[in-house]
A and B are shown apart, each in its own frame.
Chain A
């Protein structure tokens, strides 16, 4: 079963809008939640990450909102730009679990100019 679920599978927004990408997880012991992005023809790269000691992490136009009680976290991309068009993967890992980062299936974001 998929331990980290992403929605929607694909998302289209207009330039300047806020794109919201969602993830949920099963294992309450997960304690590190990164988002990776992958541009067409390229490899994934880390975008932003959060640990559940806080419920929000900002980096420029990118913000993670984290809800530990509901086991959900989301990536908000403010003022979306066409250059943000990519596939975004959320992931989770449990401290003490050697090396096994669990990825979601990805959300493909298209920002229309």
Chain B
């Protein structure tokens, strides 16, 4: 088994602020993902990475940067927080593209 850790659990920022969310996994999975989940909406892919140092844009990448520093960690940066940014950001990992994705507990972002 393994676990995905996301930090922080809650993040409060000011409009225009640069904010960083972190994700760690100990599954030894190659592929990692960042999703945004807005209330009552589905999961929208922001960035994913199929291996260390790889980055692929998802459907919602504008306004975000990502970094796959090492195999076990994947960071997401909100480059300039906006009030409509308030959502839960979910990190996930999988062995490969077609395997089960395991999700972390999420970071809930609030922008004041």
Contact = CB atoms under 8 A, between A and B. Distances in A.
B42 A106 contact: yes
Contacts of B33: 99
Contacts of B72: none
Interface string B12-41: 000000000000000000010100000001
A78 interface: no
A105 interface: yes
Given A43-B104, A105-B41, A99 B90 contact: no
Nearest to B45: A100
A98 interface: yes
A46 B43 contact: no
B56 A98 contact: yes
A16 B20 CA distance: 46
Interface in A71-113: 89, 93, 95, 97-101, 103-106
